[in-house]
Structure 1
Amino acid sequence: MTGAYLKGSDRPLSQAYRLALLDLDGVVYRGKNPVEHAADSIAQAESSGMAMEYTTNNSSRFQSVVAEQLRGFGLNVEPWQVITSSVVAARMVAHHVPAGTKVLAAGAPHLREEVAKAGLTLVDSVEDGPEAVIQGWYPEITWNELAAVAYAAQRGARFFVTNRDLTIPRELGIAPGCGSLVNAVIEAVGRQPLGSAGKPESAMYDEARQLVADAQSAQGKAAEPVAKEQCLAIGDRLDTDIEAGNRGGYDSLVVLTGVADPRGIMLAEPILRPTYIAKDLRGLNEAHPAPAPLPEGGYACGRASAWIDGGELHVASQGDVEAPSALDALRAACCTMWQAADRGIDTGAIVLPDFDI
């Protein structure tokens, strides 16, 4: 991954890629509320020929419920376009155990339904002898459910989780996510889960591509999964959405409407670096200038430039655009910082400017 810096695109991303793998929380909505410009940008991208798949680590909501919420934002969405970590988790377990295997699922009704749909036998108690256990998340999850996961794993059940997001954006702020609860169970069990269905694993993106092909085949259309090179992973988290893209070989776009912020992107390790950066989903329908290295060091992007001098990152921009508020300045700054990190410089000691984007 060393040297993997931002790309550019002369065409809007919605024309350069065929399939968008969109995260939901912090990208399209925050809890019940839509993210600004998201719905209009998605509709515009679809009008350019880009297909949409909504991939979420949230394991608590039925696909039909999520699709209905998105339709409430004015989007045209079918349930099969929503890929939750419960869908992927149940299919993942089914790949590891024979059909009919007893599975204990600690999570929302959606997770339990997906376990049954995958041809597995759902049980309600550790005393039923489950051979696998899945830990999910939903707002009403209890200590007793978490304890049951730990007891089953301690007795030898194969331990799976729907996702490892430490936090989740909600209407009132950032709340503990499934990953925070998974870590508590790990402390009790003493070992890591056998698998995680959610991002940063790339299984969700792979599954989404396959489900698109399956849906088209069900409509009588011969279809193969869209090639990875024609897919764009989109999210607000470097440690899930973007890392999953890098692990799976997908290009990615990070938006600044959720968890990710300029400082975190500038200091990102190679596996967490996105292919593109945008303020919000309007960036999906825009061309992206390609950053270019400067002869004297640093990077330029559009009319902005960035360089390191005297232990400080400097940014400048021509014209009447102030560099700290310019997206191109952030792009140039990210490439400059990533290059410095790859050359062994302690970027954590560099003084960074504030970006108001």
Structure 2
Amino acid sequence: MPSDASADLLPDLLSVTEDPLTEAYDLAMLDLDGVVYVGPDAVPGAAAHLAAAREQGMRLAFITNNASRPPSAVAEHLTSLGVAAEPDDVVTSAQAAARVLLDRLGEGARVAMLGADGLEQALLEAGLVAVGVADEASAIVTGYAPQMRWADLMHGATRIRDGLWWVASNTDLTIPTPYGIAPGHGVLVDTVRRFSGVDPVVAGKPAQPLLEETIRRVGGTRPLMVGDRLDTDIEGARNAGLHSLLVLTGVTGLEELIAARPEERPTYIGVDLRALGEPQPAPVLEGDEWRLGGWSGSVEDGRLSLDGEGGAADWWRVAATTAWHHADAHDSAPSIEGLTPPKAT
């Protein structure tokens, strides 16, 4: 954990480490879309920043809530983008779901499956038997599968309603596609939940099994979750009792960040993966203003205001800390009308 005790003193605000994150932590658990790549393309600079982190001794694990692709396919995609990755470096929600099933049912258990190849491969590698939705089984597992038949979903939902134990790979409501943001597996989970009245055991973020499975497979005693989504990556890290780094290359913008609930707030904020090789400062309260790196932040008449000049990462840290401090005191986030983040350099 960070050498600075402020990580424990200010759990709902940003923490400090004077050491680069590559020294403070020995494992980076990296979300993929929005962190390492966006759709088919690498985030600018991601490959170089990750290579530098590895050179400084940090282990890298690539984790994903998407249960449809096996680790080998994910590793191949990463390698094509210049990010060195082996299948053993990749951990999926399908693998985490298989571990949940194995721990309860034991090897050889029959599991009805509604999912794609990645989920079936994870079940087989765990020593479980994947069977059809109509076959005798001790549990049912669901995962993202764009070719799923509605008839199979109907049958599976009925079995869940009638008492078959249910594990869901994840509850992501959306998934990126070449034609835009589309419904994710979470939409199916919500449909089956409302029909059956049953809540599944969830393997993916923000639930704990995926992060626990990552540490089990890749190792590391001081893990750091790195993500771009507050409600999965960051909340998942908090649920698992882990520190986190939010990067701003994905879906989180200023509006989402300043409105983050305490359980969604990261330990650190970085513009991109360059932050792994850098110390992580945090704003200091001086009078009514939060100050860091040439920036000062305050809330006046309910509106967030930042003044000064400095680096982009420090601007975001001041904005977040000022807004969260105000929200905790007044039970509402400040307005960001007229506030524009600086461009990263």
Q: TM-score under structure 2 normalisation?
A: 0.91
Which stretch of structure 1 is more off in the superposition, 41-50 or 254-263? 254-263
Task: Find the aligned partners of 1:348 and 1:175 in 2 and give their Cα distance.
Answer: 31
Q: Which moved more, 1:337-346 or 1:64-73?
A: 337-346
How far residue 308 of structure 1 moved from its aligned partner, in angstroms, is 0.7
| d(CA) in 2 for partners of 1:241, 1:25 | 11
* Residue number in structure 2 paired with 1:156: 163
TM superposition shift of 1:184: 1.5
Find the counterpart in structure 2 of residue 136 from structure 1. Answer: 143
Write the letter of the residue equivalent to 2:72. Answer: S
**Which residue type is aligned with residue 31 of structure 1?**
G
Q: 2:284 aligns with which of 273, 286, 292?
A: 292
Distance, in Å, in 2 between the alignment partners of 1:64 and 1:350 is 43
In structure 2, the residue matched to 1:52 is 60
Q: How does 1:266-281 map to 2 (within 5 A)?
A: 266-281=258-273
Counterparts in 2 of 1:71-82, with a 5 A limit? 71-82=79-90
Identify unmatched segments of 5+ residues in structure 2. 1-7
Q: What is the distance in 1 between the residues matched to 2:295 and 2:252?
A: 21
Q: Which structure 2 residues correspond to residues 268-347 of structure 1 after superposition, within 5 A?
A: 268-295=260-287, 297-318=288-309, 321=310, 326-347=312-333
Give 1:123 deviation, angstroms: 1.3
* Aligned mates of 2:123, 2:331 — CA distance in 1: 48
CA contact (8 A) 1:30 1:171 kept: no
| Residues in 2 aligned to 1:62 and 1:346: alpha-carbon distance in whole angstroms | 42
Is 1:243 matched up with 2:249? no
Pair 1:246–1:239, CA change in 2 (3 A): same
Please list, as runs of the form range in 1=range in 2, the aligned pairs for 1:1-357 lying within 5 A after superposition.
4-126=12-134, 128-193=135-200, 195-213=201-219, 226-227=220-221, 230-295=222-287, 297-318=288-309, 321=310, 326-347=312-333, 351=337, 353-357=339-343
1:85–1:163 CA contact under 8 A, matched in 2: yes
Contact 2:255 2:336 in 1 (8 A): no
- Is residue 85–residue 197 contact of structure 1 (8 Å, CA) maintained in 2? yes
1:35 to partner: Cα distance: 1.7
Q: 1:171 to 1:355 in 2, by over 3 A?
A: farther
RMSD: 2.0
Say which is worse superposed, 103-112 or 204-213, in terms of deviation: 204-213
For residues 3 and 299 of structure 1, the distance between their equivalents in structure 2, rounded to whole angstroms, comes to: 17
Q: Which letter does structure 2 place at the counterpart of 1:333?
A: A
Q: Over residues 268-297 of structure 1, what are the superposed CA-to-partner deviations in whole Å (9 max), with x where a residue is unaligned?
A: 0000000111222122222322211122x2
2: distance between equivalents of 1:184 and 1:279? Answer: 36
2:133–2:152 Cα contact (<8 Å) kept: no
User: 2-side partners of 1:169 and 1:147: how far apart?
Assistant: 25
Superposed CA deviations along residues 17-62 of structure 1, whole A, max 9, x for unmatched, are 1110001122112232222211111111111111101111010111
8 Å Cα contact 2:133-2:156 kept in structure 1: no
- Distance in 1, matches of 2:155 and 2:110, equals 14
Q: Conserved in 2, the CA contact under 8 Å of 1:59 and 1:108?
A: yes
For the residues of structure 2 that align with 1:345 and 1:189, how far apart are their CA atoms? 36
- Equivalent pair of 2:290/2:318 in contact (CA under 8 Å): yes
SS of the residue corresponding to residue 26 of structure 1 reads coil
Deviation of 1:349 (Å): 5.9
Q: CA deviation at 1:143?
A: 2.4
Counterpart-to-counterpart distance in 2, 1:210 and 1:340? 39
Aligned match of 2:4: none
**Matched residue, 1:222:** none
Between 1:145-154 and 1:85-94, the stretch displaced more is 145-154
Deviation at 1:350, TM superposition (A): 6.9
How far apart, CA to CA, are the structure 2 residues paired with 1:161 and 1:11?
Answer: 38
How far is the alpha carbon of 1:348 from its aligned partner? 5.7
8 A contact 2:258–2:323 mirrored in 1: yes
Q: TM-score, normalised by structure 1?
A: 0.88
Query: Does the 8 A contact of 2:327 with 2:334 survive in 1?
Result: no
Query: 1:223 corresponds to which residue?
Result: none
Contact 1:3–1:339, Cα closer than 8 Å, also in 2 = no
Query: Which residue identity is paired with 2:76?
Result: E
Tell me by how many angstroms 1:71 deviates: 1.4
For structure 1, the 5+ residue unaligned runs are: 214-225
Q: How far off its partner does 1:134 sit? A: 0.7
Q: Cα gap change, 1:305/1:170 in structure 2, threshold over 3 Å: closer, same or farther?
A: farther
CA distance, structure 1, for counterparts of residue 106 and residue 53 of structure 2: 41
Change (3 A) 1:352 1:289: farther
> What amino acid maps onto 1:345 in structure 2?
D
Query: Hey, which bits of structure 1, 4+ residues long, moved more than 4 A?
Result: 348-352
Identity of aligned residues (%): 38
- Cα distance in 2, alignment partners of residues 173 and 355 from structure 1: 25
SS in 2 for 1:347: coil
Q: Distance in 2 between matches of 1:12 and 1:187?
A: 46
